[in-house]
Structure 1
Amino acid sequence: MSMTSLIDVIFLLLLFFMLTSTFSKFSEIELSAAGGGAGASSDPRPLFVQLGAEELTLNGERLDLSGLVSALPHEAGAPVPLLISLRGGVTSQRLTDLLVALRPARGVAPTVLGDT
């Protein structure tokens, strides 16, 4: 039995898997669960973001993804809650892009709202 054909098949399989696999860099996004409890009156008012497939609104004002961080408060102290509501047709990549864009914003605490 010749080993040449076996080596050819292994080489072709190796070549196939190398060409069909992707070498994307994946990054981590830190998510935290919303905590329950009684809200104090001194807590800052939360900000509300509606994320759509093409549009993004912050408290009812349309923004683009790059201008969102500059529109957020940059105050020291307790972070302001940022509630993120997803409209229909939003992909997980669009949500990931939003969360990555929010990384430099230190004055907010994002929470993604979901169905209960």
Structure 2
Amino acid sequence: MRKRTRRRRLSMTSLIDVIFLLLLFFMLSSTFSRFAEVELSSASAGTTGTRDVTRSFVQLGESSLRVNGEEVALAALPESFAETAPEADPRQVIVSLEADVTAQRLTDLLVILRGIERLTIRVLGS
């Protein structure tokens, strides 16, 4: 005749300790800094300046991009600005967003515009 052995119940204390140590490890090894930041400045009403500034108007949609009313591909945007204004003039770009634009699409546009020298970017608010 076999003697029945009773199984011991699992101790939850050691399991909670392991979970707590894992939680501490992941919290301390993670970084909470931002990967990249894009500076935004909102366009506001103001007086016109006395200096000559070349202005461009960009309309950004989910699948469309227009510079001064002409359809342009996102990759060809720097060449478009090279043609519209000489390098000596300061340039200002006013960006208007359509309702279906995603944050990623706006970020892609701003990253490309930031690569163009002597360019001030203003984003129209709603």
**Residue 64 (structure 1) aligned to one of 52, 65, 73:** 73
The structure 2 residue matched to 1:9, chosen from 11, 16, 19, is 19
The structure with the larger Rg is 2
**Which residue of 71, 91, 111 maps to 2:102?**
91
1:76 to 71, 88, 92: 88
CA distance in 2, matches of 1:34, 1:65: 22
Query: Judging changes above 3 Å, is the alpha-carbon distance between structure 1 residues 112 and 22 closer, same or farther for their aligned structure 2 residues?
Result: same
Corresponding residue of 2:115: 104
| TM-score, scaled relative to structure 1 | 0.73
After TM superposition, the score normalised by the length of structure 2 is 0.68
* Matched residues, number: 110
For the aligned residue pairs, the C-alpha RMSD in angstroms reads: 3.2
Q: Which runs of 5+ in 1 are unaligned?
A: none
| Percent identity (aligned) | 45
Counterpart for residue 39 of structure 1:
49
Match of 1:30 among 15, 18, 39: 39
| Structure 2 gap segments, 5+ residues each | 1-10
Amino acid at match of 1:96: T
